[in-house]
Structure 1
Amino acid sequence: MRKFVVLATALVLVAGCGSGTPNQGRTELTLWQQKFTDQEDAWYKKAVAAYNAAQKKVVVKLVTVPADAWDQKMKAAQAAGKTPDVFTLNYNKVPGFARTGQIKALEPLIPADKWAGLKESVVSSIQYKNQKYAYPMLVEPSAVLYYRKDLFAKAGLDPNKPPATWDELIADGKKLTTKDVSGVVTAGAAIDMAWSTWGLQWNAAGHLPISDDWSTPRASDPKYKQLLQVYQTLYQQGIMPKQPLAPYADANPMGQGKTAMMVCGSWAASVLLSDYPKMVANIGAAPLPSFDGDATKPTATLGGWTLVVDGKSKQPQAAADFVSWLLAGDTTLLVDYFKTTKFSKYSPRAAVADAVKNDPAAAENIWAKTIEDQIVAHAKPEPAYDFAVSLAFGKAIEKALQGKDIDGALRDADAEIKDVIAKNNLAGQGITS
């Protein structure tokens, strides 16, 4: 009862944000949060309400922005000089936003002890010129292989032995494909393949299709041929559907019984657990196959979300204090977030990660440990270069799907990436730390 009264009081305070009297004399900050699931949106509202209830001098106004309207709304706000003080930002955009002054360095604004216990690999994703510009909230691997154990058994396959190589996945996919069920569902459009295959690009060639300093295209490396060949084979042999059943980030095809295997991010676990509980016992999770069978090599990248302070915020210290309170303070609030998302995401902060592991509810996600131990442990950070580079490679994979010459598709990608480098002055910008 006491918790309800506190939360109700906090919500009344938030509701009064625009009315004047309740916030008279308080510094008002605006937080823009990109819309996620309804459960995540509710968590943000609850967290902001708790912060506002605990403060006498500061009040935070939360604005939830649909993903498809984010860029347009942000540009309009920048043009009008009304950008939010704090906003959500994914890792791969942090260095670029720091380089152009769109966000403030947080290291001078957040005490040193609040940065302790963050994973080094994640710290490298939030730095520019040895300064930290964002505070990380979560990481989530971009690619997990979910598979139907019952359909494996029905097809004469070992339900406890998911494919470890792409040759095995293709062979299994043929046996699992029926007129009603696809062998595998994965990204099938250039824009989705552009980012969902980052880990596979690393796995195939040991590097991304642009040099580390972003000065030279590397898409024509012959090692990438095996990646495009896999997609071409899956598509041409009807193992994956000719028309995508859903966007890559959508987990519903597995829950709806439309596929025997599905490649999706760790967030899919939350959807499956929440919306398809009767299906859960029949679903296994594993790393994506590697090209040489070595399970210690990356097949996924670690994406996720941070909070940043706008470069033109008039109250940068107050904004940074809010970020610190939310993400670097009491672990209870963040454990509640990971519980809300069915433990389908992972904390890069050791204190939170330990608290999550000690929460009995974590056992509900039966795939969490496999994903953490076998995928997160070997994943690479998301690349921070211009998305046009990734899209050029995604187009090459799409051409392979369509049956076009793979060598030619990679040469086209190389030429397009070279053009992106020149037009965006990327050469030499890749060294960000």
Structure 2
Amino acid sequence: MEQNGLMKSKSLRSESLFEGQKHEDFEFASFFRILINRYYKSLLIALLICFISVNFATAVEIKVWRFGGILAEHNWEKKKITEWNKQNSDVQIAWSNQDWATKREKVISAFKSGQLPDILVMDGPSIPDFVRLGVIRALDDVDRNMVSSWKNRFVPEIWDTTKYKGKFYAIPTYVDVTTFLTYNKAFVKTPPTTWQELKDVAKNLKGKSNKIPMVIAATKGTNDVNLWEGIAYANGCRWLNEKGDKVVINDRGCVDALQLYKDLVTGGLTEDNPQEIDYYKAIVLLLEESAIMSQSMSWLKAIDSEVKGSKNPDYGLTVFPKNANPTGSYPSANVIMAPTSAGMLTSQSKNVKAAMKFLNYFASQEFQAGWDGDPIPGRVPATKENWASPDVSKVYPDLVKLYNKGTLFNGAVPMPAFPGLVQMETYMGEALQSVVMGQQDVQSALDRVAAKSQRVLKKVSK
């Protein structure tokens, strides 16, 4: 029995030792599994951090400077850029709005210091000077196939506004078009189509009310000069000859266009001091019902949305009356136009492929859709699809009718754009003022502009 007890005791101790060993093995296994789990979790976290870090490290930032624009444009662009950045982790857009008034100075200064962004969004008339200086690159030189894929989306005449010497430099979103006649339909049932009809309608309106029959904008401002250029180009006037080596702004077609201004002023058919009324003020006079007719550009509707004193007259918008028999040496232009919000690739971009990826989006209807009249009012859209939108018909019923007839852009040409034009237009602004104030006769004023401008052309052509 003692032996049996001893054997039982040994058996119990063995079982106890075995159970203890099992417990120790279990604890060790559990500890080992914990270590492994922690290791893999740490490894997973490390890999995740590494992946995120690499992803951020490989993400390319494309800087964009956007000059000018109205609030509705800024809001739309902010929305689309936010969407882009969420959907494209490899290319992040840093978009910033810049002051329109100092656009050329800022760009040229940044170019000289090597601090240009990747993309500029600004006006088409700056293209010739920027090409001459080497600020921007031709997009079709970078990726001809990509550029070709965009072309059919755009109105052909608008597409051509950003071409220079056969190269395509910028993607337009809309164009400013000039020159139009805006008229109060309560007073003018049928708008005039010729210069003589314009004078006759204005004379008929004079004295019938205390309102100004016809407002002309004749300050030194660029917009006012552009208004005159649109009227002059329709009369066969041009700044330069076909070779581009001679200033011809004193051609007969230009002289007669400026004479129209003088005739309206001396006939008492305009405001008293047109040299003090710029384009914006001229439109305000019409919207406040102080005037019956006015010159205008296509972005009249943008002004209309901002004028608090507007009495919301029922007004019409049509192409400005033309000389029944154009007297200039060059073809009559129906209207002249220029994009003022066009995407350009700078010569200093270090991420051309990424920048072109974004410009491909910039040219897409998804991005362009905002310029169909809603949410952005008062812009003449660049794409064909936007012209088919019911929203643009609400904003521009008169222009949509002309577009659908095929007459709005028929004979349209780009606004003047060549090196030295900015300085030349300051001379033209001075001439406008001197003529409407009776300080110079028309021919002498334009001869002087031509002589001074020829010197500028010679300088920039060296």
SS of the counterpart of 2:122? Answer: strand
SS of the counterpart of 1:212? Answer: coil
User: Quick one: which amino acid aligns to residue 339 of structure 1?
Assistant: G
The separation in 1 between residues aligned to 2:82 and 2:284, in whole angstroms, is 32
> Do structure 1's residue 357 and structure 2's residue 385 form an aligned pair?
no
Distance 1:88 1:355, change over 3 A: closer
Distance 1:420 1:357, change over 3 A: same
Distance 1:126 1:333, change over 3 A: closer
The separation in 1 between residues aligned to 2:267 and 2:118, in whole angstroms, is 51
User: Quick one: which amino acid aligns to residue 197 of structure 1?
Assistant: W
Distance 1:277 1:362, change over 3 A: farther
> Do structure 1's residue 316 and structure 2's residue 346 form an aligned pair?
no
Deviation at 1:146, TM superposition (A): 0.7
The separation in 2 between residues aligned to 1:40 and 1:115, in whole angstroms, is 22
Among 392, 397, 401, which residue is 2:432 paired with? Answer: 397
The separation in 2 between residues aligned to 1:341 and 1:166, in whole angstroms, is 36
Among 253, 267, 280, which residue is 2:299 paired with? Answer: 267
Where does the alignment leave 5 or more consecutive residues of structure 1 unmatched?
1-19, 153-158, 427-433
Deviation at 1:267, TM superposition (A): 0.9
Among 345, 348, 352, which residue is 2:382 paired with? Answer: 348
Specify the alignment match of 1:10 in structure 2. none
**For the Cα contact (< 8 Å) 1:198–1:300, is it kept in 2?**
no
User: Quick one: which amino acid aligns to residue 269 of structure 1?
Assistant: K
The separation in 1 between residues aligned to 2:84 and 2:212, in whole angstroms, is 47
Deviation at 1:200, TM superposition (A): 1.8
> Do structure 1's residue 96 and structure 2's residue 129 form an aligned pair?
yes
**For the Cα contact (< 8 Å) 2:372–2:386, is it kept in 1?**
no
The separation in 1 between residues aligned to 2:179 and 2:392, in whole angstroms, is 24
Deviation at 1:297, TM superposition (A): 4.4
Instruction: Give the alignment's TM-score, normalised by structure 2.
Output: 0.76
Among 370, 377, 389, which residue is 1:336 paired with? Answer: 370
The separation in 1 between residues aligned to 2:90 and 2:433, in whole angstroms, is 54
Q: Percent same amino acid among aligned pairs?
A: 19
Deviation at 1:419, TM superposition (A): 1.3
User: Quick one: which amino acid aligns to residue 47 of structure 1?
Assistant: K
Specify the alignment match of 1:216 in structure 2. 246
User: Quick one: which amino acid aligns to residue 288 of structure 1?
Assistant: F
SS of the counterpart of 1:141? Answer: strand
Distance 1:232 1:104, change over 3 A: same
User: Quick one: which amino acid aligns to residue 242 of structure 2?
Assistant: D
**Mapping of 1:276-425 within 5 angstroms?**
282-292=314-324, 297-305=332-340, 306-327=342-363, 329=364, 331-340=365-374, 344-349=378-383, 353-359=384-390, 362-370=393-401, 372=403, 373-385=406-418, 386-387=420-421, 388-403=423-438, 404-425=440-461
Specify the alignment match of 2:93 in structure 1. 60
Instruction: Give the alignment's TM-score, normalised by structure 1.
Output: 0.81
Say which structure is richer in helix: 2
Among 116, 123, 126, which residue is 2:151 paired with? Answer: 116
Count of residues in correspondence between the two structures: 393
Among 108, 113, 135, which residue is 1:80 paired with? Answer: 113
Deviation at 1:260, TM superposition (A): 0.6
Specify the alignment match of 1:3 in structure 2. none
Report which stretch shifted further, 72-81 or 221-230: 72-81
**For the Cα contact (< 8 Å) 2:284–2:310, is it kept in 1?**
no
The separation in 2 between residues aligned to 1:398 and 1:33, in whole angstroms, is 32
**For the Cα contact (< 8 Å) 1:344–1:368, is it kept in 2?**
no
Deviation at 1:313, TM superposition (A): 1.0
**For the Cα contact (< 8 Å) 2:217–2:278, is it kept in 1?**
yes
SS of the counterpart of 1:263? Answer: strand
The separation in 2 between residues aligned to 1:246 and 1:411, in whole angstroms, is 25
Deviation at 1:369, TM superposition (A): 1.6
